[in-house]
Amino acid sequence: MAVNKRLRKRLGDAYDPIPNRTAAEAATEAITPTQQSSDEESMLQHEREPEEPVGNDELHASDLGAARSEGLFPAADEDNQSARREDIAEDDVDEAGADPGIALNMRRDPWLAVTTIMCMLLYIQYKFNTLFATIVGMLLFISRANHTIFAMCSRIGLSISRSDVLRKLHEIAKDSQKRLDDWIMQNPDGPFDGKVVFDNVNKMARAWDPTLGHRNILRCGTSAIVIKLEDVPEGALRLSPLLENIASNARSKLTVEELKKDINWAHVRGIGTGHILRTLVKHVPALQRHNSNVEHLFSESYAVHRLRLRKSDITSLRCSGANEATTAGVNEALQDVYDAQLKLSDERLEDSILIVGGDQLSVDRTRKLQRAVLKGGTNAECGRFLRPQLELWHTKWNNGKNIVQLNWAPTIEAGTFGLRHDCELLQRQLNPTKCDFYPMHGLLEVRFEALTLEGIRLLCEEYTGVVYPASDNLLDCLEKYFGKDGPLADHCFDCLEDMARTLYNRYYTETACDHSEHDDKWTEARYGPSAAFAPSARLASTADRVIANNVNFLRAVLWYLEFCTAVAVGDMGRVWEIIKIWRFSFWGCGATNYGNEMLELACNFLYEFSEKLRITFLNNWLVNPSGLPGHWQECDLLLEHYNYWIKLLFNAKSLDFDSKFLRECVSFNLRGFNDLRDRFRDIFRTTKSGGRHTPASIAADINKLGEHYRRDMVLVFHRGRTQSYTVVNEFSRGFNKLDGGQLDTFLQRTSREPFRVTPEELEDLEAEEERIPANPITVVNGVSSLQEFSTAILNEQTAP
């Protein structure tokens, strides 16, 4: 009998059945045919000998459980699964082409195998014993299994048929509706304690053999989820106080100076210093001992309104065929939600607020709907009970787009520095017009960190007088300064914080941008040593356009990254402080639609919302599907993932989004699908395949940029240094626009017609089936992470 190669490799000399022999003796000695035959007969005789009876002629599940608990059926060892997979992959067949042999490590759990077989046999014997087969059928449906796989699994009793799965899903939808009704009727006379988030969903039904009468069709619809409101003060959702405040027209008193005065600049300076420290601790191993002190700044010193850690209660609603991009479509979609599905009566809505969240287009159409029916009778008929809430992920993404477009040089030529130059230096691909989220966020973050670390290196040279050779890369230089026996090895945290504060004042403020444009204001006492003048400088110019561009970049990206990390840790107070700044930034970037939304929020929070309603908005602006710290995310991003699943299971070209299949079988059961998948994975103890990878190290990218920054002295003042483009100060420009009449125009329009906003151009509804939504940014131990998309995002690991 041939011996498996893997068996020989594992056992080596120990494989010899006769002990006390050398390897040479074992190799030369042959077993006679008589001996071999005798050994085989002995083995067969041993296999024919009956075992001791267990007291019953039948084997029950309890016996298998007891046998497993005594170690007779060892369970699969999860820690060694990866090693086993490697063993399986190699040497499955020996040189002689014989059978693979016996694997020494058990890869399969006999208990699970026997239990599964018993469930199959019971289903074959008794057709109503369908629990296990139903679960398998549901899993096949979620996995988009082919009809042939369904038929095969159903044939052998492993699964129910696909038609039975669809019938079961309709029954589950009825149960989901009952649970939703029970929640709604917990307080039948009071305001509904839920928040609706809705968005458009579309999918291209492609005609693979197009003709004049058979073409590609873009099917549009609307999806929605409802999230249970948490930490709502008593009476916060009453409508009458809000309508009284709106009717008083207090918003007409709003001024540009009041908007600017509302910003807490001391807090902004503090978090700016904190982000510099966080970048330094992240990339310099010698300073990681200060990590707890840095995180204490964010969790305690600069914390404003941290949300109570909780797992959000999320229910997916039925999708509809309404086109949310139009006002009539929004009316149809919202009526389907609060009337047909939530079954909220007009009496209940007469003096209550229903928060409806969405992106800028959804909020715009909702307000236009309210203006269209403003002359109705009751609050329910007029839609006054609807309170649109601008969700934050699309807002954040649009701010990132604005930063890229402002900092993108039209051409690249010798001596032109900036975002586009660094993007090409790192050989990254980014379309500044489309600006996909993953490459945009990664490029902004790595350039921000590289510029910050280069600024720290310059400060180290000033403080110590020690200049390391240019051949040393940026991160190695910093490690030498702060590492063992380095000139700053004994630097305490307070000294490090002072250094970060100095760097913030040099490169992250409006004042620094203003001073970089006038050499008489850029003093060495404040900004450090300067170069003589640029070789190509024009004598009439006193500015350093390179530094001015970098200051405007660093300041804007600092606010963007603060927004991202504050969302992840669930500090809505810090998020709100950035929104106060973006009231000006969006106007300065030319994004007037989002600029109007920022002004609308300012009027709401300053004049129209009661204190209780403000707290309710802040407490429920984010969602946490897992209940884990650092895993908060925006509601509209969560809905994007639900939309992805709806389109993934949209498997019939002839169906619309209001078809019974998509409404009942798919969209209404999305949360249950993910719970089922989690349960099934736990039962079979399989490794969760979330599609997550170890984050790639950006050390080489930072060193590459650091080499360029040091060689071209991009953070050292050069009198008269010019660039082919100018990065504008979007905050200052936005202030000037509002002060120049845009704020007055907004107030006159919204005071006269409270529900009117600037029309938004239709978004490009071209369906992109390959496009998948971004993952939320998480922050764990102060380190932010953006993983590539995982289809398991909705059933993320939950807190114990």
| Neighbouring residues of 198: CB distance < 8 A, sequence distance ≥ 6 | 222, 223, 224, 225, 324, 333, 334, 337, 356, 357, 358, 362, 639
The stretch 668-686 carries a mean pLDDT of 77
Q: Among residues 358, 383, 361, which one has the least CA distance to residue 195?
A: 358
Partner residues linked to 633 by β-bridges: 623
Displacement of CA 270 from its chain's centroid (Å): 26
Long-range contacts, stretch 671-678, CB < 8 angstroms, 24+ apart: 671/314, 671/315, 671/316, 671/794, 672/172, 672/176, 673/138, 673/142, 673/645, 674/792, 674/794, 674/795, 675/795, 676/135, 676/138, 676/139, 676/142, 677/139, 677/142, 677/792, 677/795, 678/795
The first and second tokens of residue 654, run together, are 């002839």
Q: Under a CB-based contact definition with an 8 Å cutoff, are residues 154 and 160 in contact?
A: yes
Q: Under a CB-based contact definition with an 8 Å cutoff, are residues 370 and 330 in contact?
A: no
Please provide the DSSP assignment of 356-405 as one string: EEE-HHHHHHHHHHHHHTTTSSSHHHHTTTEEEEE-HHHHHHHHHHHHHH
Measured CA to CA, the distance from residue 88 to residue 105 in angstroms comes to 10
Strands 622-623 and 633-634: antiparallel
pLDDT at 3 over 70: no
Domain containing 167 equals 114-175
Q: What is the pLDDT of residue 708?
A: 96
The sign of the dihedral angle between the CA atoms of 620, 625, 626, 628 is: negative
pLDDT tens for each residue of 455-484: 999 999 999 999 999 999 999 999 999 999
Measured CA to CA, the distance from residue 47 to residue 72 in angstroms comes to 17
Measured CA to CA, the distance from residue 703 to residue 457 in angstroms comes to 12
Torsions phi, psi for 630 (to 5 deg): 80, 10
Q: Under a CB-based contact definition with an 8 Å cutoff, are residues 7 and 15 in contact?
A: yes
Q: Under a CB-based contact definition with an 8 Å cutoff, are residues 137 and 165 in contact?
A: yes
Q: What is the pLDDT of residue 572?
A: 97
Please report, to the nearest 10 degrees, the dihedral formed by the alpha carbons of residues 700, 705, 707, 708 taken in order.
150
DSSP classification of residue 198: E
Measured CA to CA, the distance from residue 386 to residue 665 in angstroms comes to 29
The first and second tokens of residue 165, run together, are 């799965």
The stretch 270-294 carries a mean pLDDT of 96
Torsions phi, psi for 55 (to 5 deg): 105, -20
The first and second tokens of residue 243, run together, are 């309508």
Q: What is the pLDDT of residue 647?
A: 84
Residue 444 inside a domain? The answer is no
pLDDT at 243 over 60: yes
The sign of the dihedral angle between the CA atoms of 454, 460, 463, 467 is: negative
Torsions phi, psi for 284 (to 5 deg): -115, 105
Partner residues linked to 201 by β-bridges: 221
- Run of H or E residues at 118: helix 110-125
Q: What is the pLDDT of residue 537?
A: 45
pLDDT tens for each residue of 648-660: 887 665 678 888 8
Measured CA to CA, the distance from residue 236 to residue 790 in angstroms comes to 37
pLDDT band at 262 (very low <50, low <70, confident <90, very high): very high
Measured CA to CA, the distance from residue 63 to residue 652 in angstroms comes to 47
Residue 134 inside a domain? The answer is yes
Please report, to the nearest 10 degrees, the dihedral formed by the alpha carbons of residues 18, 21, 24, 25 taken in order.
-70
Q: What is the pLDDT of residue 87?
A: 45
The sign of the dihedral angle between the CA atoms of 678, 684, 690, 692 is: positive
Measured CA to CA, the distance from residue 519 to residue 548 in angstroms comes to 12
First to last CA, the chain: 52
Measured CA to CA, the distance from residue 347 to residue 345 in angstroms comes to 5
Q: In what order do the strands lie in the sheet with 194-205?
A: 314-316, 217-228, 194-205, 354-358, 386-390
The first and second tokens of residue 294, run together, are 């840095």
pLDDT > 70 in the chain, percent: 77
Q: Which amino acid is located at 218 in the chain?
A: L
Measured CA to CA, the distance from residue 61 to residue 122 in angstroms comes to 12
CA distances (Å), origin 380, targets 245, 335, 374, 758, 792:
19, 11, 11, 25, 39
pLDDT tens for each residue of 498-516: 999 999 999 999 999 888 8
Half-sphere exposure (Cβ direction) of 463: Cα atoms closer than 13 Å: 20
CA distances (Å), origin 267, targets 270, 492, 561, 571:
5, 23, 15, 13
Neighbours of 179 (CB within 10 A): 10
In the numeric block, the tokens 């020494």 are attached to: 104
pLDDT tens for each residue of 739-782: 999 999 999 988 865 544 344 333 433 334 445 567 777 777 66
> What domain count does the chain have?
1
Residue 440 inside a domain? The answer is no
Q: What is the pLDDT of residue 11?
A: 42
- Identify which has the larger pLDDT, 104 or 659: 659
Angle between helices 699-712 and 437-464 (to 10 degrees): 60
Measured CA to CA, the distance from residue 233 to residue 611 in angstroms comes to 9
Strands 194-205 and 354-358: parallel
Displacement of CA 786 from its chain's centroid (Å): 7
What is residue 221's three-state secondary structure?
A: strand
Neighbours of 234 (CB within 10 A): 8
User: How does the average pLDDT of the chain come out, rounded?
Assistant: 81
What is residue 153's three-state secondary structure?
A: helix
pLDDT at 40 over 80: no
Residue 147 inside a domain? The answer is yes
Q: What is the pLDDT of residue 39?
A: 44
Q: What is the pLDDT of residue 143?
A: 84
The stretch 575-585 carries a mean pLDDT of 97
pLDDT band at 575 (very low <50, low <70, confident <90, very high): very high
Measured CA to CA, the distance from residue 39 to residue 582 in angstroms comes to 85
Measured CA to CA, the distance from residue 669 to residue 172 in angstroms comes to 8
pLDDT at 693 over 90: no
Q: Among residues 709, 705, 713, which one has the least CA distance to residue 424?
A: 705
Quote the Cα angle for 315-638-592, to 5°. Answer: 125
Displacement of CA 244 from its chain's centroid (Å): 39
pLDDT band at 532 (very low <50, low <70, confident <90, very high): low
pLDDT tens for each residue of 43-91: 444 444 444 443 333 334 444 344 444 443 344 444 444 444 444 444 4
pLDDT at 239 over 80: yes
In the numeric block, the tokens 């006679």 are attached to: 32
DSSP classification of residue 320: B
| Neighbouring residues of 185: CB distance < 8 A, sequence distance ≥ 6 | none
Residue 54 inside a domain? The answer is no
- Identify which has the larger pLDDT, 397 or 768: 397
Q: What is the pLDDT of residue 215?
A: 77
pLDDT at 299 over 80: yes
Residue 131 inside a domain? The answer is yes
Residue 136 inside a domain? The answer is yes
In the numeric block, the tokens 């053999």 are attached to: 209
pLDDT at 139 over 70: yes
